[in-house]
Amino acid sequence: MRGPHNIIRLIRTGATLERTGAMNVVLDAFEAPAALRFVAHALGKPFQWLGYKGDPAMPPATRALTALGPAYIKFGQILSTRPDVVGDELAVQLRVLQDKLPPFSRQEAMEEVERELGLPVPELFEEFSEPIAAASIAQVHKARVAGGGKEVAVKVLRPGIERAFQKDIDAFYLAARIVELFAPGARRLRPMEVIEHFHGVVRGELDLRLESSAASEFAANTQKDEGFQLPAIMWSLSARRVMTLGWADGVSLGDNDALDAAGHDRRILSERVLTLFLQHALRDGYFHADMHQGNLKVAPNGDIVAYDFGIMGHIDQYTRRVYAEILFGFIRRDYKRVAEVHFEAGYVPADRDVDEFARALRAVGEPIFGMDASHISMGRLLTYLFEVTERFGMETRTELILLQRTMVVVEGVARSLNPHMNIWESARPVVESYITESIGPRAVLSDVADTAKVLARFGPRLPALVEKMLIAQATEEPPKPPKSQLLWTALAGSGAGAGIVLLIGALF
């Protein structure tokens, strides 16, 4: 880390936040204590003249982050997926953060392509357009593959973007340490965790091979989904700083007039976008976590086309089952079962009262289900649910927060297409189908089979393990424990316990 550079960058950041009026907005969102507020204002107010002015037409937070540049824009976008950290109000502001920057030149893009792919652009593409979209990390060109090939989209990283991001990330880590120093007990700050999460996401987006891989995995999972398609990745024309995929023709899912003019049924599209998301999240545990209208088109045949795979969500099989049971419990208004699921999953500490928790969940669900069907919001329900679970001591789970945030976005997209949509009736078949397949007798047999497969892998080693155990029992001194001596002594208090410990020691 470069100390002087970091300090100067933080001063300019504070100055920009002060000049744009965003400082108090950010501090309030993070529930910053008095000591941290004092330090933040000390870094900003005396140097306001160093701050960037930004666009006065934007809300303060988005105005400041946009003025500060690409790393801050991307940081704001990622924070918009963490309402548990910044609060719902600021998350909504950041969600509409404009990720549009001046493009770099076509010539620079072609030079990047040639460096990455090792051939002159004319040998790769017979056409290569001016930039058609420019964002904080990369920009996109429309091209045609050489030899009369098909039209493609070529995504190219900004020149020098890795170094620029690393400088700002260094400053972010310094800021996080300052926050930890002056706000050690702040309830929702968790600064190092936030910066580490941001750093991990950015590392993935700065290597387009990883985004290509995400798109390829997503395509493999969804290839049989009716009414859904993804542009194909062209691996031979992709590398670390260049990503080439098929061109997606169609109408933006956010342009209702164009959708109507093209003859698409918005009612069908609204249900499809919701059910597709739930299928991907529950069935695959791998979902597009940035499903706003800007990343979705409707093909001429009516299929929904998704693109931009920089932010993908993943939830494991167990969490999927828990999430499905929670949703299904609310659909049936079985609040006691929803409460029991939280306790069974360990989300809520075991010393809390399950009946009291069930009553709190009823207070969440009943007002929502008392609304007209077209106003019942799954996103609102999940938001309220997390507020209640926090009061009962539930630890924040990042994967569920991302799932909840994506659910809110998808629900908004669906309602923009059909304001009278009944979200719950559309979700019910997908959730019920998953419950039937994953939590019934067939699921138990599948789990037993999976467990047997894992145990079978140790089959060839069993004779050696038994021999080692018998030799150890025949000697006066037990073998040296793999962990602490205290753990060894505690577990080896009986013959059976010794056998288990020996087996574990042999395995590891």
Q: Which of 168, 225, 290, 308 is catalytic?
A: 290
What are the distances in angstroms from CA 302 to CA 14, 173, 225, 299, 310? 48, 46, 13, 5, 25
Same domain, 178 and 326: no
Same domain, 417 and 275: yes
Same domain, 336 and 219: no
Same domain, 140 and 268: no
pLDDT tens, position by position, 224-236: 999 999 999 999 9
Same domain, 292 and 422: yes
Domain count, the chain: 4
Question: Rounded to whole angstroms, how far apart are CA atoms 338 and 262?
Answer: 43
Pairing of strands 228-229, 304-306: parallel
Question: Rounded to whole angstroms, how far apart are CA atoms 65 and 98?
Answer: 10
Same domain, 294 and 234: no
Question: Rounded to whole angstroms, how far apart are CA atoms 206 and 138?
Answer: 9
pLDDT tens, position by position, 16-67: 988 888 888 888 876 777 877 888 888 778 888 888 888 888 888 888 888 8
Q: Determine the straight-line distance between the first and last CA of the chain, rounded to whole angstroms.
A: 38
- The dihedral region occupied by 60, where left means phi > 0, alpha psi between -120 and 50, and beta the remainder, is alpha
Which tokens go with 40? Answer: 């933040």
**By percentage, how much of the chain surpasses pLDDT 70?**
79
**Number of Cβ atoms within 10 Å of the Cβ of 242:** 23
Confidence label for 446 from pLDDT (cuts 50, 70 and 90): low
- Domain extent for 409: 250-455
Same domain, 497 and 413: no
Same domain, 177 and 198: yes
* Mean pLDDT over the full length of the chain: 80
Same domain, 70 and 21: yes
pLDDT tens, position by position, 353-388: 999 989 988 887 777 666 655 666 666 666 677 677
Same domain, 82 and 217: no
pLDDT tens, position by position, 133-167: 888 889 999 999 998 788 999 999 999 888 888 88
Question: Rounded to whole angstroms, how far apart are CA atoms 449 and 491?
Answer: 29
Residue with tokens 């030079």: 111
Cβ proximity of 101 and 131 under 8 Å: no
Three-state secondary structure call for residue 299: coil
What are the distances in angstroms from CA 40 to CA 27, 34, 43, 354, 448? 9, 10, 5, 42, 55
Domain boundary among 171, 204, 237: 204
Domain boundary among 222, 247, 272: 247
**Number of Cβ atoms within 10 Å of the Cβ of 148:** 7
Instruction: Mark whether 260 is an active-site residue.
Output: no
Same domain, 121 and 238: yes
Note the Cα 261 to chain centre separation in Å.
34
Nearest Cα neighbor of 504 from 477, 453, 471, 492 is: 492
Three-state secondary structure call for residue 269: helix
Cβ proximity of 266 and 418 under 8 Å: yes
Instruction: Give 363's contacts (C-beta < 8 A, 6+ positions apart).
Output: 388
What's the confidence (pLDDT) of residue 503? 34
CB-neighbour burial class of residue 442 (10 A; exposed 0-12, middle 13-18, buried 19+): exposed
Same domain, 35 and 168: yes
pTM of the entire structure? 0.72
In this structure, what CATH number is given to the domain that contains residue 121? 3.30.200
What's the confidence (pLDDT) of residue 497? 39
Question: Rounded to whole angstroms, how far apart are CA atoms 344 and 337?
Answer: 10
**Number of Cβ atoms within 10 Å of the Cβ of 372:** 8
